Every structure is written in C-alpha cells, then in structure tokens.
Structure 1
Amino acid sequence: MNTFLLDDILRGFLREDLEHGDITTESIFSGHEFGSAVFRARQPLIAAGLETVAARVFHLLDGQLVCAEMAADGQRVAAGEVLLRVSGPVRSILQGERVALNLVQRLCGIATLTRQYVEAVQGCKAAIVDTRKTTPGLRLLEKYAVRCGGGRNHRYSLSDGVLIKDNHIAACGSISEAVRRARAAAPHTITIEVETDTLAQVEECLACGVPVIMLDNMDVPMLRQAVALIAGRALIEASGGVNQRTVRAIAETGVDLISVGALTHSAPACDIGLDWSGAVHPAC
C-alpha cells in the first residue's frame, strides 16, 4: 500500500467524520485519560487492512496512539479473535474508531469473499481477478483487499490498458478497425484486450492477433468451444454470469482469468467490533 497516496484518502475520511469536533467524546473526557481497546472479529474472516489501513488511521489522527497485535493481511481469523489492539489517549481512540472500523469491515469483507472464489477454483489454472466496479473513492483500498484475499487485479484505471468493449466495437464498426486504431495510437508497452460475445468475434480477434480475448456472458459449452478455438494463441478471460455457483464450471473450461465484479460491488462487510480492554487512567 502506497502511503503517499493512502494518507490523503484517510485524512479526507477523518475530516468528514470529525468535522468541527467530537462533541460527545470531548464532553466526557478531558483529553488526559489513557486506555486501550481491541478490534475483535465477530465472524470468521480473512484479514485485510489492519496494519496498512486501520493503524494508519489512528497514527494520522494522533501520533501518541500505538497499535499492536495486528492480524496480517490474508490471515484467516476465527470469530472472537483480536484483529488489532490500540492504546493511547482515550479521546483519540474513540474519535478514530468509526473511520477505522468502517474501512476494515469493508476490506475484510472483500478479502473474505475473494478467498471464497479463489478456493472454489483450486486445482484449475484460472486466476480470480477484480474489475473497475469499485466504490468511488475506495478503489485503491478495495483492489488491495482483493489481493489480500488471494485474487489479482485487472486494470486499476482506464489508463492502464486497452480494453475494447462492445460499445467501442459498435461505435467503431468492427473489431478489426478498433484494434487497428488502438495499435496506431496506444504506446507499444500497452496490451490490447477485446471483449467478445460470439465465436465469430473470437475468430476476428485471432485474425487480428489480439493478445487477450475476453469471453463475455458465454455459457459453459460456448466457453469450451472458444477455448478450443483460441488454442493457446491468446490469454483468455471469462466475464459475466460469474457467481459462487458457476465459477468452478467456468474455471474448468480452461480459461486463464475469471473477472468477478461482485468482489468489490457486492461483498458484505464483515462484523468487527471495538471492545474496550483496558482501564482508563490519567496520563502520568
């Protein structure tokens, strides 16, 4: 996680929540009390972002806060286990609690769902990859969580690669012409991928020498036909209609990549709570 990019995002989240101050906490505590609390998993989950995100939130809020016992990214955690311990000024712990919890609940949810998909295709060569269907403002974090769960990242942004989709093809007129234009304009270091939904389009891609072919919303028999037709001449991505019931059958067709939008747009947040764990005492 690049903290240069991350810190601006986290500061924005803290500003949103704190605004002009925490009326409740500042009314109850003088600012001289110290204590400690733990983030505790209330369900089995895959950890993501405890050290890289939650601890960073607390550090940015107050340099006196100390985080320890942090679950490692990708670690399998049982219900009841401690994910992170934070100690220091009581006011700062309480003020950072919600931002840190919101983020790790979201990230652990994505990592946990991703791991379920990854485990579903074990033994197949297919890798599970994410999409750009992310929460605005959270893409850096959500794609990081996918990696914590054992998945891989597709494009981070539109500038990362050429992906010629159905609307590009419809507006341009043909795959061949869209590929010709892309090759003429894109840097030589950029890979070209084309989305297809028929075997005729797959054949057109092969005739153009497209290096990555996306098979979009094809059923399993058609996927098998497309994989046989491509015969190793391009990297193959399957997309569309992927869920935990279908992903294994899709992987068994021999595709190289399976992109799953649900990893980031539909992952349920994990149930994680903050429990007070140490007596409040005045600073020495």
Structure 2
Amino acid sequence: MSLLSLPDIMIEPAVRAALLEDLGRAGDITSDAVIPPATQARVALVAREPGVVAGLDFARLTFRLVDPQIRFAPRLEDGARLQPGDIIADIDGPARGILTGERVALNFLGHLSGIASATRGIADAIAHTGAKITCTRKTTPGLRFAEKYAVRAGGGANHRFGLDDAILIKDNHIAIAGGVGVAMARARAAAGHLVKIEIEVDTLAQLDEALAHGPDAILLDNMTPETLREAVRRIGGRAIAEASGRINAETAPAIAESRVDLLSAGWLTHSARVLDIGLDFLD
C-alpha cells in the first residue's frame, strides 16, 4: 500500500517555526560572512547507517523556504529502506541557502527517519503474525502529525491523534469514576454513533467486567504473553485486542503471537533514536 503524503499546508508551519528558531534575530551570520553571495553548490543527503527514510517533504520545504532557487531532487520516497552510503536526495543551488537550511532539514529528516526505522524493526519482527504495531499520544508537542506520519512510513499504524478522536478510558478514569462498569456505562451513554470506545484493563477480572458493556477495543496493559492469550480467548473477536507495555523488537514477537490485533508503543515517537543522515558537498 502506498504511503499518503502530507500536504505542504500541514508541514509548512512546523518548518517555518524551526527555521525562525534557528535564524533568530540576525539570520545566518556565519554563512553570510564566509560565503560570497553568488556561490553555487551541489550536495547530497546521504544515509550513514541502515534504516528507513521519512520526512523528505520536510527537508524539501526547508530549503525552498530558505531560498526558492535551491533545487531538491529526491532519489527515494518516504518508507524506503536505507543502507549506508545510499543517496537520499540531490540538492543544488545557492550555497548560502543550502548551509542555512542544512541543520533544520537534517533535524527533521533524522528524527522522522529514526521513528520510521524503529517502527519498521518491530513491524518486521511481527510480520509472521496478524498484528500491527501502533503509536500513542506520547509525542513531541507540535510534531504529533509528523511523528505519526513517520510511524506509517515505517509500516506501522496510528492510534488516535488526540483526545477528540475516540473515547479511551484509562486506569485513572476508572479509579476516579468508581470502576470499570461505571466508566463504561457513562461512556456508552455519552458516545455518538461514530465514536469508538476503548478501555484499559490490567487484569482478567477487569476484562470480564468490561466485556459485559460491549467496548469496541480493549487495551491489555502490561500482561504476559500467557495472560494475553487467555484475554484474547475471552474477547473472542468481540472487540479489538491491543497490547501495551514493554514492547520492543525483542519482546514483540511473543506478544504478537498471543493473537492480539495491535501492539502499542509510546517510545516509538518519544524516544526513538535519530537516524544518522548527513549532507555531503559534491563540489
């Protein structure tokens, strides 16, 4: 399935904010001092390590906003696998503008490619099952849309984008409401016909109580693979089964083999390691 790109109108505010933060009050005083105005340059974005690329439109738009005369020609598409030395994109044009946009472009590209690469690692690890890896709302403020896009580029799926997407009853909701049954009954009474309801449970007893109220999805939190298998059996296809807690490329296969539908991991967006991508000058 092809990856749907994000339109520039969504990307531009984040890129503009990053450039304004970097340019400060006086612009790129280093490049302006050292590089003559008419100097042209050819450069390439190059992978330094294996991974998956994501964020090419963020890099493209960075250079375009700095100087529309800079030409950005990608050789790959978001979601492509990388090996060290792979050229991701060719860039040429005014050298001052290229140097000014370099760090912002690499920040976006490295961060989003890191998320895509981490996601791909888990997606590959559970490819033999029917489960999918998904993200959470544990995202960088202001960059949720971009980070969730990177998860998709890595072969993952998206959880809700915000508090208004769906009803997700967490442990603190249950504690304050007075129990699983009370929380579910109130949610069912308040939800519109297009609003899904998911509830988090920590035990099989909570699961049984939740199932009596017909949730659309159940978040099975920090359960062992053995307990997850029993939970999936009890759910019996009546709701989407989502597992969370301690999920990484090593633990994911056993969790996915419990036959849950989804594995959710917050660290994909808040702690994935940046992928090493460099900008090499060709002449």
TM-score of the two chains, using structure 2 as the length reference: 0.95
1:25 aligned partner:
31
Provide the secondary structure at the position in 2 that maps to 1:117: helix
2:281 aligned partner:
276
Residue 243 of structure 1: how far off its partner (Å): 1.8
Alpha-carbon distance between aligned partners in 2 of 1:2 and 1:197, rounded to the nearest angstrom: 40
Alpha-carbon distance between aligned partners in 1 of 2:174 and 2:74, rounded to the nearest angstrom: 52
* Cα distance per residue 1:107-149 (max 9 Å; x no partner): 1111111101000001201110001111222211111111000
Provide the secondary structure at the position in 2 that maps to 1:208: coil
1:282 aligned partner:
none
Residue 71 of structure 1: how far off its partner (Å): 1.8
Alpha-carbon distance between aligned partners in 1 of 2:91 and 2:114, rounded to the nearest angstrom: 21
2:238 equivalent to 1:222: no
Provide the secondary structure at the position in 2 that maps to 1:201: helix
1:66 aligned partner:
71
Alpha-carbon distance between aligned partners in 2 of 1:44 and 1:244, rounded to the nearest angstrom: 16
* Cα distance per residue 1:76-105 (max 9 Å; x no partner): 111011111111111100000000001101
1:281 aligned partner:
none
Provide the secondary structure at the position in 2 that maps to 1:112: helix
User: 5+ residue gaps in structure 1?
Assistant: 279-284
Aligned amino acid, residue 48 of structure 2: R
Residue 183 of structure 1: how far off its partner (Å): 2.3
2:165 aligned partner:
160
2:249 aligned partner:
244
2:125 equivalent to 1:120: yes
1:102 aligned partner:
107
2:3 aligned partner:
none
CA RMSD, Structure 1 to Structure 2 (Å): 1.1
Residue 35 of structure 1: how far off its partner (Å): 1.4
Aligned amino acid, residue 277 of structure 2: I
Moved over 3 A (4+): none
1:37 aligned partner:
43
Residue 184 of structure 1: how far off its partner (Å): 2.4
Q: 1:70 to 1:18 in 2, by over 3 A?
A: farther
Work out which of the residue numbers 129, 135, 141 in structure 1 matches 2:140: 135
Provide the secondary structure at the position in 1 that maps to 2:249: coil
Aligned amino acid, residue 126 of structure 2: V
1:77 aligned partner:
82
Q: How does 1:134-213 map onto structure 2 within 5 Å? A: 134-213=139-218
Aligned amino acid, residue 32 of structure 2: E
* Cα distance per residue 1:49-83 (max 9 Å; x no partner): 12x21111111221111111332111111101111
Provide the secondary structure at the position in 2 that maps to 1:125: coil
2:269 equivalent to 1:264: yes
Tell me the number of residue pairs that the alignment of Structure 1 and Structure 2 aligns.
277
Alpha-carbon distance between aligned partners in 2 of 1:69 and 1:100, rounded to the nearest angstrom: 13
Provide the secondary structure at the position in 1 that maps to 2:212: helix
Alpha-carbon distance between aligned partners in 2 of 1:240 and 1:182, rounded to the nearest angstrom: 24
Alpha-carbon distance between aligned partners in 2 of 1:252 and 1:110, rounded to the nearest angstrom: 24
Alpha-carbon distance between aligned partners in 1 of 2:132 and 2:188, rounded to the nearest angstrom: 27
Aligned amino acid, residue 150 of structure 1: G
Provide the secondary structure at the position in 1 that maps to 2:275: coil
Moved more, 26-35 or 85-94: 26-35
User: 5+ residue gaps in structure 2?
Assistant: 1-5
* Cα distance per residue 1:199-224 (max 9 Å; x no partner): 11111111001110110011111111
